[in-house]
Chain A
Amino acid sequence: MQEEVKNIILGEDEDYIINVGPQHPSTHGVLRFEVSLQGETIKKVVPHCGYIHRGIEKMCERDTYPQIIHLTDRMDYLSAHINNEAVCLCVEKALEVEVPEHVTYIRAMLDELTRIASHQLWWCAMGMDMGALTTFFYGLRDREQILDIFEESFGTRLIQSVNTPGGLMNDIHPGFQKRVKEFIKYFRKKLPEYDQLLTGNVIFRERTEGIAPMSREDAIQFGVTGPSGRASGFSCDIRKVDPYGIYPKIHFSEMLRTEGDTLSRYKVRIDEMYESMNILEQLVDNIPEGNFAVRMKAVLRLPAGEFYQRVETARGELGVFIVSDGNKTPYRMKFRSPNFSNLFVITKLAPGYKIADLIAISGSLDLVIPDIDR
Chain B
Amino acid sequence: MIMSFNIYDFSGLTRSIDNGLREIMSPGWAIFIELAIIGLVFLIFYALLGLFLVYAERKVCALIQNRLGPNRVGPAGILQTIADLIKLLMKELIPLKNADKLLFNIAPFIVIIASFMAIAAIPFARGLHAIDFNIGIFYVIAVSSLGVVGILLAGWSSNSKYSLIGAMRSGAQIISYELSVGLSLLTIIVFAGTMQLSGIVESQANGWWIFKGHIPAVVAFIIFLIASTAETNRGPFDLAEAESELTAGFHTEYSGIRFAFFFLAEFMNMFIVASMAVTVFLGGWMPLHFGTDNAFNHIMDFIPPLVWFFGKTFVVIYLIMLFKWTFPRLRIDQLLTLEWKYLLPVNLVNILVVAFLTLMEWHF
Contact = CB atoms under 8 A, between A and B. Distances in A.
Interface of A: 16, 18, 24-26, 40, 127-134, 136-138, 141, 198, 201, 203-204, 206-207, 354-357, 359
B244 A203 contact: no
Given A24-B247, A354-B333, A356-B245, A130 B328 contact: yes
Contacts of A207: 328-331, 334
B156 to A, nearest CB: 15
A16 B245 contact: no
Nearest to B238: A131
B104 interface: no
A134 B326 contact: yes
Most chain A CB within a 10 A radius of its CB, from B162, B165, B329: B329
Contacts of B333: 40, 354
Contacts of A137: 65-67
Interface in B306-329: 325-329
A329 to B, nearest CB: 43
22 contacts: A25-B244, A40-B332, A40-B333, A129-B244, A129-B245, A130-B244, A131-B327, A131-B328, A132-B328, A132-B329, A134-B64, A134-B65, A203-B328, A203-B329, A206-B331, A207-B330, A354-B332, A355-B165, A356-B239, A356-B242, A356-B332, A359-B245
B115 to A, nearest CB: 24
A203 B325 contact: no
Contact of B334 (A16, A129, A134, A206): A206
Nearest to A125: B244
Interface in B133-187: 161-162, 165
Contacts of A26: 244-245
A317 B162 CA distance: 36
A141 B326 CA distance: 17
A355 B246 CA distance: 9
A127 B325 CA distance: 11
Contacts of B100: none
Contacts of A204: 328
Interface residues of B, number: 27
Nearest to A24: B247
Contact of A131 (B64, B67, B162, B329): B329
Nearest to A18: B161
Contacts of B64: 134
A356 B328 contact: no
Contacts of A203: 236, 327-330, 334
Interface string B4-43: 0000000000000000000000000000000000000000
A282 B325 CA distance: 38
Nearest to B64: A134
Given A18-B161, A130-B329, A203-B327, 15 more contacts: A24-B247, A26-B244, A40-B165, A129-B244, A130-B244, A133-B61, A134-B65, A137-B65, A203-B328, A206-B330, A206-B331, A207-B328, A354-B333, A355-B246, A359-B244
Q: Which secondary structure dominates where chain B touches chain A? A: helix
B330 A355 contact: no
Contacts of B331: 206-207, 354, 356-357
Given A132-B326, A134-B325, A355 B245 contact: yes
A141 B67 CA distance: 10
A51 B238 CA distance: 31
A215 to B, nearest CB: 24
Contacts of B242: 131, 356
Contacts of A16: 161
A204 B329 CA distance: 8
B332 A132 contact: no
A356 B161 CA distance: 15
A28 to B, nearest CB: 11
Nearest to B243: A25
A198 B66 CA distance: 17
Contacts of A206: 330-331, 334
B139 to A, nearest CB: 34
Interface string B230-257: 0000001011001111110000000000
Given A129-B244, A137-B66, A137-B67, A198 B162 contact: no
A141 B64 CA distance: 13
B28 to A, nearest CB: 53
B245 A201 contact: no
Nearest to B332: A40
B328 A25 contact: no
Interface string B327-346: 11111111000000000000
Closest 10 CB pairs of A and B: A131-B329, A130-B328, A132-B328, A137-B65, A131-B328, A356-B331, A26-B244, A129-B244, A204-B328, A25-B244
A133 B332 contact: no
Most chain B CB within a 10 A radius of its CB, from A24, A137, A138: A137
Contacts of B325: 133-134
A129 B161 CA distance: 20
Given A130-B329, A206-B330, A354-B331, A18 B162 contact: yes
Nearest to A207: B331
A142 to B, nearest CB: 11
A12 to B, nearest CB: 17
A260 B274 CA distance: 43
Contacts of A129: 244-245
A355 B247 CA distance: 13
Contacts of B244: 25-26, 128-131, 359
